[in-house]
Amino acid sequence: MLEIKNLHVKLEDEDKQILKGLDLTVETGKVHAIMGPNGSGKSTLSYVLSGRDGYEVTEGSATMDGFDLLEAETEERAAEGLFLAFQYPVEIPGVSNMTFLRTALNAQRKARGEEEMSATDFLKMVREKAKTLKIDGDMLKRPVNMGFSGGEKKRNEILQMAVLEPKMCILDETDSGLDVDAMKLVSDGVNALRSEGRSFLVITHYQRLLDHIVPDVVHIMANGRIIKTGGPELALEVEKNGYADLLAENA
């Protein structure tokens, strides 16, 4: 599904290298997790994959089912099925959540040459999905993320994912800021979307999320590279011992 080879990324305006030869393959239908110390480049990786301005790819490649991600516009990557649940979801005054979701869904459908969804079907579908994430009608009407609590913003990210039904989902610390119940809600939301044709890359600091969303593969990222790959037990090891041993091993 997702194939990243030798990815080197620096800041556009600064001579600062952030990703330094990253290799990562996520197979179709699998859930991979990435853990790693603060500042190791996890969010940068997700931004570069989705096409945020400010980063420069100096070497390497990233493809999604053969589609060259790095060459495409941000919206084209989304229409192709890439989804990033933001670590810090953005507030957009004046644009209602509902309008946002509908515009996004129909824009993606249009880009793929599919029929737009009728207003009635759309409303029905969103209300159903919102309900399972305990997002009420008021939150759907309000401007995107405006005045949402930290946890509400994260739930809203998962709602967008559920509505857009992407094939490659990157979740950047979707668990941070969630209370125990919300964590369960979000995990259930993600698990409900797990399917043969859909892959996940879950960025997290905590093993706890991985109790709910059990990964097939766990990667440790440090200093702009993947330094170790293993099974779910790797996350337990990090939880117990921290990164010191792993970093030392790799030094």
Q: Which residues bind ligand ATP (CB under 6 A)?
A: 11, 18, 36, 38-44, 54, 87
40 binds, among Mg ion, another protein, ligand ATP, none (CB under 5 to 8 A by kind): ligand ATP
Quote the least distance from Cβ 133 to ligand ATP, whole Å: 24
Quote the least distance from Cβ 172 to ligand ATP, whole Å: 7
Applying CB under 8 A, the residues found at the interface with another protein are 50-53, 73-75, 78-79, 84, 86, 89-96, 98-100, 102-108, 111, 119, 122-123, 143-144, 160, 164
Quote the least distance from Cβ 53 to ligand ATP, whole Å: 9
174 lies in the binding site for Mg ion (CB under 5 A): no
- Which of 102-131 are b and which e, b meaning 16 or more Cβ less than 10 Å from the residue's Cβ? bebbeebeeeeeeeebeeeebeeebeebbe
- C-beta closer to ligand ATP: residue 44 or 97: 44
Quote the least distance from Cβ 131 to Mg ion, whole Å: 30
39 binds, among Mg ion, ligand ATP, another protein, none (CB under 5 to 8 A by kind): ligand ATP
Count other Cβ atoms within 10 Å, centred on residue 14: 9
- C-beta closer to Mg ion: residue 97 or 174: 174
Nearest to 205 by CA among 156, 244, 243, 162: 243
Instruction: Say which amino acid occupies 100.
Output: F
Quote the least distance from Cβ 143 to ligand ATP, whole Å: 26
Helices and strands counted in the chain (H then E): 10, 10
Residues across the chain: 251
Outline where DSSP puts E strands in 29-104.
31-35, 55-64, 67-68, 82-85
Contact positions toward Mg ion, by CB under 5 A?
Answer: 42-43, 87
